[in-house]
Amino acid sequence: MSLRSPKNDDIAGLLLVDKEGGETSFGSVRSVRRILGVRKAGHAGTLDPFATGLLVVLLGQGTKLSPFLMAGTKRYRATVRLGSETDTLDLTGNVVRTRPVRPLPLEEVREKAAAFLGEVEQVPPSFSAVKHKGRRAYELARRGIRVELKERKVTIYRLDVLCMDLPDVTLDVECSSGTYVRSLAADLGEALGTGAHVRVLRRLASGSFTVDQAVRISDLARDGADAELRRRIIPLRDALPEAREQAVDEETARRIRNGYQPILRELAETISPGEGRLRLIRGPDLVALAEVVDAPGSLEKHLRLLRVFD
């Protein structure tokens, strides 16, 4: 029996998928689109084909949340092979250099890893989706064209050495958006004097969502795949749980959807202009995502609408 469903353009929200090894992120999105019959779908942060773990799939109007979800912190578990470097910085590449791995005390590895905590400069891998003069770096790398990618600042919030079975070291990494664990592993290998590449990579969390909440597409029963995915869709209203919530009436919701920028006191006297964002809701629906700002030339506080939802 086919997994294909009729087109359902009214579906909107997030779906947490546990991507399997060997599958591209686009392939996972395509599978979800086929099962649910949705036309518009994307994801909030690519996983390399060899990697597994949490992929946040965006459905319908949920694609408008992509930049906000992608900006969240990420958590990974990585197994790093010391003594061997590859051109892709992972197990799928060609070995370009090998070095001996001496008996390394656990404390020495932890000390070297601790040096990467905080804000660091990182060069993205040559085989990455970073653009160079309008072309993806991996497209150029596959053609043998070497390019110098610019360093970028990323933040490593946690880098724990979980266990060692040399030449393998398993790490728990919590980092900012835009961090390449492959580059981090290569830099750690260089600091240890051994070189390194990533053997196993699994995304455990993205923002407030964890892989424990996710579903593997291959685990779905063929006859019940559509119903199971529908049951797991996270509504737009709950997509950014860290943002404060403010209800609006029907007329205000209508005006906002027509482009109106409300003054803060029109909504409630009790909203403080604190840090973070506001989810403007009407019943079960997300009307808009906004932030509190100072109005130019006025003492009034305004809401800057970041995204408006139908």
Active site amino acids: 48
Pairing of strands 196-206, 52-59: parallel
Token couple for 121: 């400069």
Ramachandran area for residue 250 (φ above 0: left; ψ -120 to 50: alpha; else beta): alpha
Phi and psi torsions of 106, nearest 5°: -55, -40
Query: Rounded distance, CA 135 to CA 105, Å?
Result: 43
Look at strands 278-282 and 244-247 and give their pairing. Answer: parallel
Pairing of strands 41-43, 152-165: unpaired
Output the DSSP codes for 43-101: ESS---TT-EEEEEEEEGGGGGGHHHHHTS-EEEEEEEEETEEETTSBTTS-EEEE---
Q: Is 26 left (phi over 0), alpha (psi -120 to 50) or beta?
A: alpha
Tokens of 269: 């006297």
Q: Give CA–CA dist 86/179, Å, rounded.
A: 19
One-letter amino acid for residue 95 of the chain = V
- Phi, then psi, of 187 in degrees rounded to 5: -65, -40
Rounded CA separation 157/119 (Å): 8
| Inter-CA distances, 234 with 26, 230, 296, Å | 20, 9, 37
Half-sphere exposure of 224 (CA within 13 A, CB side): 6
